[in-house]
Amino acid sequence: MEFVVAEEYREQLRFSAKSSAINEYSLRGTSVDISPGGMGFTSRLFLPRQCEGSLRVFDPTPVGMRADGTPILEVAFEQRVKVRRVQMTSHEPTYFIGVSFAEPDGVDPDIGDRIMLLKVAGEGASVPGAASPPTPPGAPDA
C-alpha cells in the first residue's frame, strides 16, 4: 500500500531523500487490517496524527513487468484518509498507523474481505518480483 501526503500538508511534512520513502511526499507500508471505516498499516516512517492524504492499496497480482524486472501493479482501492493513531511497535523503527476514511459511505462494506482475497491471491503468485514493493502507476520505466 502507499500513502501520499495531501497538498495542504506538504509544507509541514516532507520525507528525507535518505529515508525509505518513495519520494518526499509518499511512503509505502504493509496493510494490517481494513474495514469500511478505516485501515491499519505498518510503516518504517512516522506520520503525525491528523495528517491527511490518499491511501492506495495495490492488487498484488502483477499486470506486467518493467524493463528492470519490477512488477507493474494496479490500484485495487484508493481513498482519502486522515491519520488517527500512530504507535511505535519496534525499535527498527516500525510504526502502526491507523487511518479513517474521509468518505466512509463511499467504501464497499465488504472491502476487508475483498482486500484479504487479493492478499491471499498475491501470496500464491509465483511471478518473479511479485513480493517487491509496488511500482506506482505512472512511474517511469527504468
Question: For position 27, what pLDDT does the model report?
Answer: 94
The whole-chain average pLDDT of the chain stands at 82
pTM of the model: 0.74
CATH of 2-123, one of 2.30.30, 3.40.50, 2.40.10, 2.60.120: 2.40.10
For the chain, the domains span: 2-123
DSSP secondary structure letters along the chain: -EEEE-GGGTTT----TTSS-SBTTEEE-EEEEEETTEEEEEESS---TT-EEEEEEE-SS-SEE-TTSPEE--EEEEEEEEEEEEEEEETTTEEEEEEEES-GGGS-TTHHHHHHHHHHHHHT---TTTTSPPBPTTPPP-
pLDDT at 123: 57
- pLDDT tens, position by position, 44-61: 999 999 999 999 988 888
pLDDT digits 0-9 by tens, 76-135 = 889 999 999 999 999 889 999 999 998 877 666 676 666 666 666 555 443 333 334 444
Task: pLDDT band for 72, please (50, 70, 90 cuts).
Answer: very high
